[in-house]
Amino acid sequence: MKQTIILILTLGLFSCNQKTDKETAQGDWIKGTETEQIKTIEKQFRGFDNAMVETGYRYQELYWAGQDQNWEYADYQIEKIKIAIENGLERRPKRAKSAEHFLTYVLPEMKKSIESKDTVNFNKNFQIMTINCNSCHAMEKVPFFNVQIPIERQSPIRK
C-alpha cells in the first residue's frame, strides 16, 4: 500500500513538470519554414554518397573480421552494409536497379560464407563481392570508384 502511494505521488509530480504547450525543436542552423527546414535536413543527409562512405568503412571491417575469424563481427558488418545501402536507396531510389543484385544475391551469399565460418569460403565470396561492387559502380557510371581488397589494416578491432 505504501509503495502504491509513493508511485502515485511520483507520477503526479512527474506529470506536473510536463509542458502542455507544443514545443518545436530547432537548431540554430536550421532556418526557415518547416518545408525549408526539411530541405536543409535532406541536403545534410545528401544522396547515395554518404551511404557509400559507410559501406566502404564496413567493407574494410568485414574483410578484417573474416581474416580474424571474428564471425559475429563479420555478421554485424554485413547487416550494417545492407542497412546503409537500403537507407541510401530510400534517398536515391533511381539507384535501386544497380543495387538489386547486390542486395538480393551478393550480400546473402556473403552472409552464408560468414555462417559457414570457413575463411577460404569467406575470401572467395569477399572477392566476388568486390567484383560486384565494381560492377555496380560501372553501371552507375562511376567506374573510377575502383574497390580493391584491403591490404593495410586500419581497424582497431581485433578478435
Helix (H, G, I), strand (E, B) or coil at 159: coil
What pLDDT sits at residue 72?
A: 98
The average confidence (pLDDT) of the chain is 87
| 87-94: average pLDDT | 94
Dist. CA 132–CA 145, nearest whole Å: 12
pTM (two decimals) = 0.78
CB 136 within 8 A of CB 99: yes
117-138 pLDDT per residue, tens = 999 999 999 999 999 999 999 9
What pLDDT sits at residue 21?
A: 52
What pLDDT sits at residue 84?
A: 97
Closest CA to 63 of 122, 111, 133, 21: 122
The percentage of residues in the chain with a pLDDT greater than 70, rounded to a whole number, is 83
For 128, list phi and psi in degrees, rounded to 5.
Answer: -65, -40
22-78 pLDDT per residue, tens = 566 656 788 899 998 888 888 888 888 999 999 999 999 999 999 999 999 999 999
Residue boundaries of the structural domains of the chain: 49-139
Kindly report the CATH number that applies to the domain delimited by 49-139: 1.20.120
Question: Could you write out the DSSP letters of every residue in 11-38?
Answer: HHHHHHTS--S------TT--SSHHHHH
Neighbours of 70 (CB within 10 A): 18
pLDDT band per the 50, 70, 90 thresholds, residue 16: low
Helix (H, G, I), strand (E, B) or coil at 149: coil
Whether residue 8 is predicted with pLDDT greater than 60 in this model: the reply is: no
Per DSSP, helices labelled H in the chain are 2-16, 34-45, 49-68, 71-91, 96-101, 107-116, 119-139
What pLDDT sits at residue 9?
A: 47
